[in-house]
Chains A and B, each alone.
Chain A
């Protein structure tokens, strides 16, 4: 992180690659802080919100979305050149997103499955995070990102300090808030132990297991968790694999778990599964 504030009133751009828009929307959803943000930051390019356009150069560029088609490859390099400080926001930009599940499949088969002229489909075989293509200065994880973390990052950029983005398990946040562990008391599989916190432990607070949308944390012992879920929970490998095959599936070590256990439709083979029909009940037992 560079020392000192980025600029007096930094020139900010917000751009989009392959994504749903939710992370940019989080900026517009700052509501109470939005008008204050635009006083401290000069938003020069944000197509979703303003018709005023600018090709840069940017002091800070927020990038949402994954690299997913040929035109993106050049575009991200060009944008990196024109940005002093590049921040990726959201699971698509930081991990490739849910659409990265196609990376395990046969891309040509996907394209050709419906379309008579697949050559008109301009997409790459893979959906990849921005950091696989250009150096990234900071990232905000999440699907979508957390508004408090966004404000924290903006504050840090404005004041020249390091943003306080904790890299610890969601479990810590659950315990601080007094949320009862859904895995221990409900037998519900939860990725929170291997997922980076930042969301405020939403899913366990709402009675369901974490699905890892903030991505794997440092030293995530996904293999240990996987063994435990199979052993104590008596779950088939493929079910545990599907748990990891979510919004940040392409980040390690989730990626290796999906490859090893199944869970994303892999090229050439059906996810081989046992027969019992799915069902569900959220009633506590």
Chain B
């Protein structure tokens, strides 16, 4: 059931989508406007909780790495990265620089796959007026074929390093269970080089799309690192002065329960307002570290400011990051020498293991308490979509005036398109047990 219109009394409109499509996971949309004022803006999440934070209790760090990947099928690498770096930080494990490079390369693969999937298969149909990429392929077969090619190059990169693109198997505390030979990566280089060219076209394609009108002053948060675009490492920074170690998320942020709703949101402790994560945030905060190829393309679009204030333009930010991921992957492969050992030995220490990395959708924070036996005693996992939820609902409010004059069905599509601009990963957002399940209607 798609967008319903309900008129009740004077001028009350209800924009509702019972089950959002072309987003990962199960969510709903509900926007109620009365006399031009928004009385309700809700991103409903009705994924079933799977209790991951409970399941990992009593397990070992390497088991946790395998388990948390299953929080999300699109971004399993992100979960493995946040977890493994958290444990290595607590246990004082110094990984080989070649291992660090491989981890970034793995992350490049995931960004490529996730961004290509989202731009072309999930989001572009909105801009071009199709209900799906499958329908879009009837008129734009080449475009869709190229998108699939780009996605494949990213998936194959993960496969070379991790065994398979979804839920890779080789990430271990201390390194990897196996590292690729140079030859394996070199054999894939031509596909990545081709993907880079296609990614550059994607920036031009995204910048050419008609952007719906939308503007607000966002507060953005991401990692930032002086020497590289943020993936596994960097300080947590905001556009207004927050600056924390990657383990220090809780110093500035917290999860809380919204009154009258059992959804958990995340907010900044300083009460200065809702914040936004993801490609737009990273491009705003860390554009200096973009690969020169990507930075040049970004400048060429002239859309840096639009990206900052118009959430619909996130597709351009995503395309710029797609270029970056390809370019960085090629650089890493060219400089790759396998480490002496795939992993270093380690021993656990009791304490708190915490770390944040940049998933394709934004900052992903993990925190584990480890006991004397080296087992997990408790876990807290804060995915980007859970943190963006407040921003999505805020933006629904901001978007409301822009859609009031449109025909109802089109207005609803526009609102869905806005939600998709966040690339929400709803299975991630609902992995923990204390989330209210909202049924639409």
A99 within 8 A of B: yes
Please report B residues at the A interface, Cβ cutoff 8 Å.
1-2, 19-26, 47-52, 54-55, 57-63, 66-67, 70-74, 76, 117, 121-122, 125, 131-135, 137, 141, 144-145, 148-149, 151-152, 155, 162-167, 169-170, 172-178, 262, 341-349, 372-375, 416, 427, 433-434, 436-437, 439
How far, in angstroms, from A203 to B21 measured CA to CA in the complex?
Answer: 34
Q: A53-B1, A206-B163, A280-B62 are in contact. Are A20 and B70 (CB under 8 A)?
A: yes
Contact in complex: B72, A21 (CB < 8 Å): yes
A-B contact pairs, 29 of them (CB 8 A): A17-B48, A21-B427, A29-B152, A32-B148, A38-B137, A48-B23, A51-B22, A51-B416, A53-B1, A53-B21, A97-B50, A98-B50, A99-B51, A110-B51, A143-B167, A144-B166, A199-B164, A206-B162, A208-B170, A242-B59, A277-B372, A278-B60, A279-B348, A280-B62, A281-B344, A282-B177, A282-B178, A283-B341, A283-B342
Residue contact B427 to A50, C-beta cutoff 8 Å: no
Not counting A31-B152, A280-B62, a sample of 16 additional A-B residue pairs whose C-beta atoms are within 8 angstroms of each other reads A19-B427, A22-B73, A22-B76, A50-B134, A51-B125, A53-B2, A68-B50, A69-B48, A99-B52, A111-B433, A121-B433, A206-B177, A246-B66, A265-B58, A273-B373, A281-B343
Q: A20-46: which have CB < 8 Å to B? A: 20-26, 28-29, 31-32, 34-35, 38, 43, 46
- CB pair B149–A31 under 8 Å, yes or no, is yes
Which A residue sits closest to B149, measured CB to CB?
A31
Binds B, one of A1-9, A112-120, A153-161, A221-229: A112-120
Say yes or no: A279 contacts B145, CB within 8 Å: no
A48-B434 contact given A281-B174, A282-B342, CB 8 Å threshold: no
Establish whether residues B427 and A34, one from each chain, have CB atoms under 8 Å apart when the complex forms: no
Q: How far is the CB of A69 from chain B (nearest CB, A)?
A: 5
Say yes or no: B55 contacts A99, CB within 8 Å.
yes
Q: Is the CB of A21 within 8 A of B70?
A: no
Q: Is A247 an interface residue (CB 8 A)?
A: yes
* Known contacts A120-B262, A277-B372; is-contact A29 B166 (Cβ 8 Å): yes
Which chain A residues lie closer than 8 Å to B175 at the CB level?
A: 282
| Partner of A47 from B21, B155, B348 at Cβ < 8 Å | B21
Q: How many Å lie between the Cα of A47 and that of B416 in the bound state?
A: 13
Chain A residues within an 8 Å CB radius of B48:
17-18, 68-69, 72, 122-123
List CB contacts (< 8 Å) of A178-210 with chain B: 199, 202-203, 205-208
Q: Indicate if the CB atoms of A115 and B433 lie closer than 8 Å.
A: yes
A105 interfacial by beta-carbon distance below 8 Å: yes
Once the chains are docked, how many angstroms separate the CA of A203 from the CA of B163?
A: 7
Interface: A16 (CB within 8 A): yes
- Count of A-B residue pairs with CB < 8 Å: 232
User: Using Cβ atoms and an 8 Å threshold, which residues of chain A touch B151?
Assistant: 29, 31
Is A127's beta carbon under 8 Å from chain B?
A: yes
Contact A202 B427 (CB under 8 A): no
How far apart are the CA atoms of A31 and B416 in the complex, in Å? 26
Residue in contact with A102 in the complex, picked from B54, B177, B349, CB distance below 8 Å: B54
Within 8 Å CB of B174, what residues of A?
A: 280-282
A232 within 8 A of B: no
**Could you tell me if B49 and A123 are in contact, using CB atoms closer than 8 angstroms?**
yes
Q: Is A169 an interface residue (CB 8 A)?
A: no
A275 in the interface (beta carbon within 8 A):
yes
Q: Which residues of B contact A277 (CB under 8 A)?
A: 347-349, 372-374
Distance in angstroms from B374 CB to nearest chain A CB is 3
**Which bucket holds chain A's interface residue count?**
35 or more
Alpha-carbon distance A283/B337, docked complex (angstroms) = 18
Q: How far is the CA of A256 from the CA of B240 in the complex (A)?
A: 55
A51 to B51, CA, bound (A): 29
Q: Which residues of B contact A199 (CB under 8 A)?
A: 164
Instruction: Give A242-285 interface residues, CB cut-off 8 Å to B.
Output: 242, 246-247, 265, 270-271, 273-283
Contact of A280 among B47, B121, B173, B439 (CB under 8 A): B173
Return chain B residues, CB-CB under 8 Å to A68.
Answer: 48, 50
B166, A203: Cβ atoms closer than 8 Å = no
| Pairs of residues from A and B, 10 with the lowest C-beta to C-beta distance, nearest first | A22-B73, A50-B132, A278-B374, A281-B345, A21-B73, A99-B50, A207-B178, A18-B48, A208-B177, A202-B163
Given contacts A50-B22, A202-B164, contact A281 B72 (CB under 8 A): no
Check if B433 sits within 8 Å of A114, measured CB to CB: yes
Is A52 positioned at the interface, with any CB of B under 8 Å from its CB?
yes
Chain A residues whose C-beta falls within 8 Å of the C-beta of B342 in the assembled complex: 207, 282-283
CB of B165 within 8 A of CB of A29, answer yes
Minimum CB–CB distance from B432 to chain A (whole Å) comes to: 8
Decide: A273 near B132, CB < 8 A? Known: A25-B73, A206-B170, A278-B348: no
Nearest-CB residue, chain B, relative to A72: B48
**Complex partner residue of A143 from B20, B70, B345, B374, CB under 8 angstroms:** B70
Contact at A280–B2, with CB atoms within 8 Å? no
Shortest CB-to-CB span from B262 to chain A, Å, is 5
Q: State whether B58 touches A271 (Cβ < 8 A).
A: yes
